[in-house]
């Protein structure tokens, strides 16, 4: 549309001078304060104007996942601001847990091949429910219009079942799975198990993964007491905070803890395709793992 013709139309609706965007036909127009919405609606109905919309300011990295509003921990850690830079693209996160519901609508598109180290087969389905919640905290699909969001919503999930049906797992199985994940190219491994931070076997396997360019993230535990575990360069041990940035009363703490992250009321995926809120350092740990995946994706040389 010629500038003169557009100017005449804008004058009818109180619009100011139109500024062309580059060489396109798109224009930016100043409208009378308080009448912006009304003016846009009239302009949008004009037969010679293809469209008109308010020049809205939207949050950086806004999510279209419907339960994002229930995930207080993501704005708290500023993950939503980081999504415009990275959402974990190209990084694989190994979830060493009770298995993962690989058919969950918020997880199924993020899966790579995993393994069941408890039974010695390829069936990595979730036998307890814990692993699915952990996986979603780290890497539920981002901006798919479904369920929840996560820090590394574009990363890959490697489901590794290490547990018995009651959720328990041995140090040896943890170490075996860590070595396998490292050899299969996982850059991050999450281990949400109490006392794993104090295991020499787990630390040895974590050092192997580190030699491959990876990192192992472990939950600090939910005993609510100061633990005597020694600090380790092999592991990133994570305690839990609440919405007020205080240590959660049930979170373990001590010199072995490297970082604290939200772990109370973490809304995430649940086995069977659902969603719910979970508490524990089991969730501050994968939240941290997801953030690390964002960092690795943004700078693969780290």
Rounded CA separation 289/237 (Å): 11
Give the number of other Cβ atoms within 10 Å of residue 71's Cβ.
Answer: 24
Active site residue 282: yes
DSSP 5: H
Q: What angle do CA 162, 277, 241 make, to 5 degrees?
A: 85
Which run of H or of E encompasses 282? helix 281-298
Is the CB of residue 89 less than 8 Å from the CB of residue 131?
no
- Of residues 97, 101, 126, 258, which has the active-site annotation? 97
List the one residue out of 105, 200, 177 whose CA is nearest residue 148.
105
For residues 259 and 251, give the distance between their C-alpha atoms in angstroms, rounded to a whole number: 12
Two structure tokens written together for 207: 């050092």
Q: How far is it, in rounded angstroms, from Cα 16 to Cα 26? A: 15
Is 97 in the active site?
A: yes
* Residue in 282, 284, 285, 297 annotated catalytic: 282
**Nearest residue to 286 (alpha-carbon basis) of 155, 135, 69:** 135
Determine the angle formed by the axes of helices 200-211 and 171-183, rounding to 10 degrees.
0
**Residue 130 among the catalytic residues:** yes
The catalytic residue among 101, 124, 130, 199 is 130
Interatomic CA distance for residues 284 and 217, integer angstroms: 10
- Determine which helix (DSSP H) or strand (DSSP E) holds 278, and give its type and residue range: strand 274-278
Catalytic residues: 97, 130, 282
């Amino acid at each position: 549309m010629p500038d003169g013709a557009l100017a005449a139309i804008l004058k009818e609706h109180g619009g100011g001078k139109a500024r062309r965007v580059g060489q396109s036909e798109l224009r930016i127009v100043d409208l009378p304060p308080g009448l912006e919405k009304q003016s846009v609606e009239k302009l949008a109905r004009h037969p010679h104007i293809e469209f008109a919309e308010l020049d809205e300011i939207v949050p950086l990295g806004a999510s279209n996942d419907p339960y994002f509003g229930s995930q207080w921990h993501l704005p708290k850690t500023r993950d939503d601001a980081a999504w415009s830079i990275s959402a974990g693209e190209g990084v694989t996160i190994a979830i060493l847990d009770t298995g993962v519901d690989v058919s969950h609508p918020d997880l199924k598109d993020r899966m790579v091949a995993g393994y069941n180290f408890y039974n010695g087969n390829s069936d990595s389905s979730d036998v307890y429910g814990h692993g699915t919640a952990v996986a979603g905290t780290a890497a539920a699909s981002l901006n798919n219009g479904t369920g929840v969001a996560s820090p590394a919503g574009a990363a890959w999930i490697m489901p590794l079942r290490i547990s018995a049906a009651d959720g328990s797992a041995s140090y040896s199985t943890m170490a075996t799975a860590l070595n396998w994940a490292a050899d299969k190219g996982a850059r991050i491994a999450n281990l949400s198990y109490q006392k794993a931070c104090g295991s020499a076997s787990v630390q040895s396997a974590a050092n192997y993964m580190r030699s491959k360019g990876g990192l192992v993230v472990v939950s600090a535990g939910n005993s609510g007491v100061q633990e005597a575990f020694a600090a380790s360069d092999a592991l990133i041990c994570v305690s839990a905070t609440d919405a007020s940035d205080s240590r959660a009363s049930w979170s373990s703490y001590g010199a072995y803890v490297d970082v604290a992250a939200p772990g109370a009321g973490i809304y995430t995926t649940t086995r069977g395709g659902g969603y719910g809120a979970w508490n524990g350092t089991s969730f501050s740990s994968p939240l941290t793992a997801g953030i690390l995946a964002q960092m690795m994706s943004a700078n693969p040389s780290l």
